[in-house]
Amino acid sequence: MAGLLIGLISAAVTSAPASAAPSNMPGSTATGPDRSCVVDPGDRRLTVDSLQHRCSSEQILELFEAAPVGSAPVGKKAIALLPAFQVRGRLLPYDQARTFTTLQNKLGDSLTFTTAPGGAPWVHKNYVWGADAGGPLTSGGSRIDGKPVFTADFSRDFGGVPISIHEYRQLTPTVWIGRDIGGGRSTTPPQPTGGAFALS
């Protein structure tokens, strides 16, 4: 299902005008709602609501790139998919990204950060039909910008194919911001396919 949806989006972006390409330069015109993008270290709900409804797609990606790696999430965390989605490095228009993430949000609502039987850190996705096989939680460099991240590879859910790789950074003491990108060979510059999310 996920592969089919990403394939349909890829086809749409291939025919999109060049203006659909992302711009991460300071002062660039951001797509999306013209509202205040607020990150409040003392207010988890305000921060997540802002990421979901007030921050532009560009601001969401910039917040991920600027966030420190921080501490790894622990226990069960609610996941909120955010209106930012790239296909081969190109940012979808805000409204399309919101539609896609709204559909995905109905499939699952949380992640559980736990340990595997051998004691290694492990992450499970909690879908409406139950928990998935999960994947190991490791630390290393981001496939997007090379800076430190926590990473979870969910290839066990897709017959060993790295369709979903999570990268996590701690945005506030109670909120993590992440990217869900496909696997495959790294490129220079990076051309990720996937979205963004918040954990709280």
pLDDT in tens, 10-49: 333 333 332 222 333 333 334 455 568 999 999 999 999 9
The reported pLDDT for the residue numbered 168 is 98
Domain containing residue 134: CATH number = 2.40.128
Q: How far apart are CA 110 and CA 119, in angstroms?
A: 21
Q: Is the pLDDT of residue 3 over 50?
A: no
The reported pLDDT for the residue numbered 161 is 75
92 to 23, 44, 116: CA distances (angstroms):
12, 27, 36
| Domain-embedded: residue 133 | yes
pLDDT higher for 41 or 9? 41
Q: pLDDT tens for residues 85-98?
A: 999 889 999 999 98
| Domain-embedded: residue 25 | no
Q: 57-61, 174-178, 185-189: which range is least confident on average?
A: 185-189
| Domain-embedded: residue 65 | no
pLDDT higher for 27 or 60? 60
Mean pLDDT of 110-139: 92
Percent residues over pLDDT 90 in the chain:
56
The reported pLDDT for the residue numbered 76 is 97
Q: Is the pLDDT of residue 184 over 60?
A: no
| Domain-embedded: residue 55 | no
| Domain-embedded: residue 145 | yes
Please give the tally of structural domains in the chain.
1
| Domain-embedded: residue 141 | yes
| Domain-embedded: residue 119 | yes
In the block, tokens 């999310």 appear at 197
Domain that residue 132 falls in: 76-90+100-200
Contacts of 34 by beta carbon, 8 Å cutoff, 6+ apart: none
Mean pLDDT of 183-197: 74
| Domain-embedded: residue 197 | yes
Q: pLDDT tens for residues 125-147?
A: 998 887 888 899 999 999 999 99
